[in-house]
């Protein structure tokens, strides 16, 4: 007997960063994310119906990961903006594309992706869903 999926979607995840200010500036400039302030002055990056909560190294909010470390993140973000437009924007912002475009497999099927690094070295995959022709 298999257990049915009990999870519907991701609401947020946490990145531990060296500088919340530098991280907010980067994600705003690179990906158009909005910096939001919530509960006790904490900061997050909002986009779509999700957010990335930010913890600064040494000032993490409890509870936290067992070994929070800046630069240990590796995640994929789906965009409806054409990848060519994203690439042009990243280049205009002088943000280095580490790899891509390349084809990958995502949770919902094929992706075309580019990879960048944020100020802490987290690997950020930005992808378009590839639809069948």
Please report, for the chain, the start and end positions of each structural domain, with discontinuous segments joined by +. Answer: 12-129
Best CA proximity match to 35, nearest among 49, 54, 12: 54
Contact 12, 52 (CB under 8 A): yes
pLDDT at 133: 65
Residues annotated catalytic, as ranges: 125
- Spell out the per-residue pLDDT of the chain, length 133, in tens: 788 888 888 999 999 999 999 999 999 999 999 999 998 899 999 999 999 999 999 888 889 999 999 999 999 999 999 999 999 999 999 999 999 999 999 999 999 999 999 999 999 999 999 987 6
Q: Which fold has domain 12-129?
A: 2,3-Dihydroxybiphenyl 1,2-Dioxygenase; domain 1 (3.10.180)
Where do we find the tokens 């100020």?
A: 119
């Amino acid at each position: 007997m298999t257990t049915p999926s009990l999870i519907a979607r991701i609401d947020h995840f946490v990145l531990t960063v060296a500088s919340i200010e530098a991280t907010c500036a980067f994600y705003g400039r690179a990906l158009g994310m909005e910096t939001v302030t919530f509960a006790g002055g904490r900061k997050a990056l909002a986009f779509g119906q999700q957010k990335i909560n930010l913890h600064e190294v040494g000032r993490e909010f409890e509870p936290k990961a067992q070994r929070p470390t800046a630069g240990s993140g590796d995640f994929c973000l789906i965009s409806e903006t054409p990848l060519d437009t994203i690439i042009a924007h990243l280049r205009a912002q002088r943000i280095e594309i580490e790899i891509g475009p390349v084809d990958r497999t995502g949770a919902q099927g094929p992706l075309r992706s580019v990879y960048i690094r944020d100020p802490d070295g987290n690997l950020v995959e930005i992808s378009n869903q590839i639809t069948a022709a």
